[in-house]
Structure 1
Amino acid sequence: MSELRAWGDALAAVAAGLAAMAAVAALGLWTAGAGALGADALAPVIAATVVSAVGGTVELSGGAGFIGRTGAGLAVVPLSVTLAGALALALVFLLPMRHHAVASGAAFLGRAARTAVVWVVALLLVARAARHTFRIRLDEDILDELGAALGVTPTVGFRAAAGPTVGYGLLWLLVLLVVATAASRRTPLPSRLLRFQDSVRPAAFAVLVLLLGYVVLGLFAGLVVAATRGHADRTFAVLLLGLPNLAWMGLGIGLGGAWEGRVPDGIGLPMPQALAAVLREGGEGTATVDLSSLSAQDGRAWLLALLAALALLAAGFLTAVRSPAGTSPWRLAIRLAVALALALLVIGLLTRISARYGLSLLGVGDLGDFGGEVTLDPRLLPLVGWGLLWGLVAGFLGGVLVNHLRRRESGRVG
């Protein structure tokens, strides 16, 4: 009976995660106008969005019979969908463990293994559902007429690659379970890991609160924009699909990091105007997105630096408060620096964008004239370096402040 209940817990965790991702993806795609695709296409698009959200691979392909070809590529992680699934899955996974004072290593690994098995099966089903083909209408009337006359219809389709989807999806799950367990104070650790509890959990929790706090602030800002500037559907589409992408980029840029990318003039972007304007400045090359370039488009961008400073000081304070009394400020500084650097490394990897579409018909177009390319990549090493530096400063200051407050409180009691 206990084994059956354990499998039930694993199934509940996976179902909660997938349901949350599917719901957020469906709402985001609907506000983005995907409802016009029809019921037969919307379900595969939702499945493909879920696949992308866990790091899976969605392959794009197309063709125009013997007279043409289409070329397309897309690599982007909809982090709103990712975050919703991660929170739901982690909460249901950890909930039964909070009723135990201690946890054996074998029991913990067993729970993780059962969840992983159910997760792999679920990913295979979702990957199977993530496939569809669309007909492409050309902007050029003569090419549309030529294709119709020859009985050739340009198409583009997508399908999830099962192998990479399961591989990256399984890695996503394992990282999620490690981070959730490390950040949760109420979840018991196996006895062999108890020695890491005081050194890992406070900093992990502080960085998690920092990241979620940025998402909440971004949500508030997005709701204000939706209420005051019109185009509420576009704003809600961004919030439901890519809010953490923008919020966590704001954190990285505020700390001194930078991204590089380009956007052709003819392509609209679901992102803030200042960011889109900077990316278009690169022309045929790439543009650098940092505090300086964003401020040239909107002077309020410098507030990102102030917000990052205040948020990091709060994270340093929280790390110190949750650490044992008397912990050296330098120890706190190193722990927060490592946690923040790892977080920024993951943020940099997850906020990359690569999108390309093109069409060539009878040699016209060369896969470029009727398409475009969008790229966005972080300067990863400087970003991680800024995380280490800011983490050291914030962790040390937080430790000094909390130790001072504790000494004052101890003096009053004495």
Structure 2
Amino acid sequence: MIPQPPSDQAVVTRHGWPQAVATVLVALGAMGVVAALGLWAAGASDLPDHAFPRVVAATVVTAVGGTIKLSGSAGGLADTKAGLTVIPLSVTLTGALVLGAGFLRPLRHRAVAGGRELAGWAARIAVLWLPALLALAYAARQTFKLSLGDDTLSDLGDLFGVSPEVGFTTDVPQTLLFGLLWMAGVLVLALLVSARAPLPGRLLPFQESVRPAAHAMVVLLLAYVVLGTLVALVVAVTRGHARETLAVILLGMPNLVWLTLTIGLGATWNGRVEGPFGLPMPHVLDEVLRSKDTATLDLRTLAEHDGRVWWLVVVDAVLLLAVAFLMAARSPARVRAWQHAVHMAVALALTVLMICLVGRISARYGLSVLGIGDLGGGLGGKLFLEPELWTAVGLGALWGLVTGFLGALPARPVRRKGEIKPADA
């Protein structure tokens, strides 16, 4: 009996609705677990009014590109101003890895897949993803009352009818839009990174130039996260603060290590920390940012406080050469070194652009009575961190050209998969 190729019905069975449900639920569940553990380590479990689940939901919403709005009120004679822009990239990375793996799993062991088939499989996930985002968006809402501090301030607040409150809610349309775009980006990136995932026949000629470079960048980013996590664990064991370290690992480790990646390339970030806010980063970075004016965060300014910062350049160089070698080893032997350099330059420039866009931080809160200043020094503050975008992207491209060329040279004698050398003929 001659075996028959799988029918369209069999293909649908391999990645139909049950698989889509499992993919969405497991991805959101993993993000929720990581967010909950990180927030617990940060002390958010002690929030009043049983707010912890809503804060977890808000964290997941921001991790997939959703928008959280802060609001405040303080009676008729007072005013509050609040804003927050930050992405918990540890939660984002967890969701991206799980969602991408779930999307690729039914497509394994395939050489080619039609465009309609891939679009149909992605559409099933999107149809389930949107209502899940909608539920999270409506769950991520809470209001907190703030204490004015000592008895004098409390009496003053009672006199003027000042009862400060701050809360958060979601921008539902923007959350659905950006959450859907995030999901689509993850699925496309999963197809680009995986060497075994099937592509439509028309796209097969492009996989030789795109897939090795995309895979190298993902390896680079994950290597930094793993390295940063190991360093954080060592610091926690030797110096204490285990719970705070766990919170950083589970909520913002990529925010920290990908920032240092760009700084090691020579990029410049500008920022300032004022008031009770802080950053999940080593003391030297926070120290530089706590200045009277906007501070410049680069290798020079950091080295003035700690000369070990120059090791970031060495770490960048070693890891970039390693992933450049990996990229060349995964490429066909006919690709020349200068072509590897171009591929690496484009890939690293796009990676740095992504880091700069998602790594921005902005937070502010202030309370004023009768329009006069902040009431109580601990109730107001602001924090921001922004990159000099195009300089960073240009430096990424330059580093990519150099390391891409140098990394390709030792990869020449490496045997590629499926390549037959004359000695084997």
Q: Indicate yes or no: 2:362 matched with 1:354.
A: yes
2:225 is matched with 215
Query: What is the deviation of 1:266?
Result: 4.7
Q: 3-state DSSP class of the match of 1:257?
A: coil
Deviates more, 1:96-105 or 1:209-218: 96-105
Q: 1:330 aligns with which of 323, 326, 338?
A: 338
Partner of 1:379: 388
Does 2:187 match 1:147?
no
| Secondary structure at the counterpart of residue 99 of structure 1 | coil
Q: How does 1:390-409 map to 2 (within 5 A)?
A: 390-404=399-413
Q: 1:311-343 CA distances to partner (integer Å, 9 max, x unpaired)? A: 110111001000001211111111111111111
3-state SS, counterpart of residue 106 of structure 1: helix
Aligned counterpart, 2:279: 269
Equivalent residue number for residue 6 of structure 1: 16
- Once the two structures are superposed, residues 91-131 of structure 1 have per-residue CA deviations (whole angstroms, 9 ceiling, x without a partner) of 11111110333211100011111111211111111000000
Residues 53, 81 of structure 1: 8 Å contact kept: yes
Letter in 1 for 2:51: A
Tell me the CA shift for residue 368 of structure 1. 9.2
Q: In structure 2, give the amino acid aligned to 1:296.
A: E
- Give the structure 2 partner of residue 170 of structure 1: 180
2:373 partner letter: G
Asked if 1 retains the 8 angstrom alpha-carbon contact of 2:55 and 2:140, the reply is yes
Paired residue type of 1:335: H
Question: Is 1:77 equivalent to 2:87 in the alignment?
Answer: yes
Shift of 1:404: 4.8
Count residues with an aligned counterpart: 411
Q: Does the CA-based 8 Å contact 1:65-1:152 persist in structure 2?
A: yes
Letter in 2 for 1:323: S
CA shift in 2, pair 1:163/1:14, >3 Å: same
Aligned with residue 286 of structure 1, among 294, 299, 303? 294
What TM-score results when the alignment is normalised by the length of structure 2?
Answer: 0.92
Check whether the contact 2:366–2:380 (CA below 8 A) recurs between aligned residues: yes
The percent of aligned pairs where both chains have the same amino acid is: 55
Q: CA deviation at 1:410?
A: 5.7
Distance in 1, matches of 2:281 and 2:108, equals 40
Q: Is the 8 A contact 2:256 2:280 kept in 1?
A: no
Distance in 1 (CA, whole Å) between partners of 2:16 and 2:319 is 39
* 4+ aligned runs moved over 6 Å, structure 1: 411-414
The alpha carbon displacement at 1:400 in A equals: 2.0
Higher helix share: 1
Residue 366 of structure 1: how far off its partner (Å)? 5.1
- State yes or no: 1:249 paired with 2:259: yes
Consecutive unaligned residues of structure 1, counting only runs of 5 or more, are none
Relative to structure 1, the CA distance from residue 64 to residue 130 in structure 2 (aligned partners, 3 Å threshold; closer, same or farther) is same
Contact 2:225 2:257 in 1 (8 A): yes
Partner AA of 2:198 in structure 1: P
Report the alpha carbon displacement of residue 145 of structure 1 after superposing the two structures with TM.
1.7
Matched, 1:300 2:308: yes
Alignment-derived partner of residue 5 in structure 2: none
Higher mean C-alpha deviation, range 266-275 or range 67-76: 266-275
Q: By how many angstroms is 1:389 displaced?
A: 0.7
How far did residue 148 of structure 1 move? 3.4
Deviations 1:356-379 (CA, angstroms, capped at 9, x unpaired): 001012333258953011000011
TM-score for the superposition, normalised by structure 1: 0.94
Between the aligned partners of 2:331 and 2:103, the Cα distance in structure 1 is 25
Counterpart code for 2:202: R
Residues 406, 112 of structure 1: CA spacing in aligned structure 2 closer, same or farther, 3 A cutoff?
A: closer
Q: 1:301: how far off?
A: 0.9
**Contact 1:279-1:286 at 8 Å conserved across structures:** yes
Gaps of 5+ in 2: 1-8
The aligned residue for residue 112 of structure 2 is 102
Map 1:4-43; keep pairs closer than 5 Å. 6-38=16-48, 40-43=50-53
Q: Which residue pairs with 1:125 in the alignment?
A: 135
CA distance in 2, matches of 1:148, 1:225: 46
Q: How many Å apart are 1:164 and its aligned residue?
A: 0.7
